[in-house]
Amino acid sequence: GAGVSQSPRYKVAKRGQDVALRCDPISGHVSLFWYQQALGQGPEFLTYFQNEAQLDKSGLPSDRFFAERPEGSVSTLKIQRTQQEDSAVYLCASSLPNTGELFFGEGSRLTVL
């Protein structure tokens, strides 16, 4: 597709459930980023891939968060044993290397009850 596609757009999970969020980046964009955005705040960095290599995962808040991009295209962000504080919008972005110019998807809004 022409833009970054994320699914699901909305996810409601009970506390303790596992969730998986999918990101399909712009074709040809080797860099892929995951950000978390709480209400009223700017996006906070979670992790970054260049092709299939996860080059930076310093922003992942705990070992319950895991991201992968096995074939260097589609990426999945997995959150295990969800907690209420995980409720946020999870944004995926892709870019050409080292431009700083991010192209975002519409986000996946996670609500943990």
Partner 1 sequence: TQLLEQSPQFLSIQEGENLTVYCNSSSVFSSLQWYRQEPGEGPVLLVTVVTGGEVKKLKRLTFQFGDARKDSSLHITAAQPGDTGLYLCAGAYTNAGKSTFGDGTTLTVKP
x/- contact string, 35-64, with partner 1 (CB under 8 A)? x----xxxxxx--x-x----xx--x-----
When asked if residue 101 is in the footprint of partner 1 (CB under 8 A), the reply is yes
CB of 113 to partner 1, least distance (A): 20
Q: What is the largest CA-CA distance in the chain?
A: 39
| Member of 4, 60, 67, 88 binding partner 1 (CB under 8 A) | 4
Choose between 44 and 85: whose C-beta lies nearer to partner 1. 44
CB 2: neighbour CB atoms within 10 A? Answer: 7
With contacts defined by CB under 8 A, name the span among 11-19, 33-41, 61-69, 73-81 that binds partner 1. Answer: 33-41
103 binds partner 1 (CB under 8 A): yes
DSSP-assigned letter for residue 31? E
* Residue 101 near residue 33 (C-beta atoms within 8 A): no
- Cβ count near 13 (within 10 Å): 17
Is beta strand 88-95 parallel, antiparallel or unpaired with respect to 31-37? antiparallel
Residue showing tokens 């960095």 = 45
**Interacting residues toward partner 1 by CB under 8 A:** 4, 31, 33, 35, 40-45, 48, 50, 55-56, 59, 91, 93, 98-107
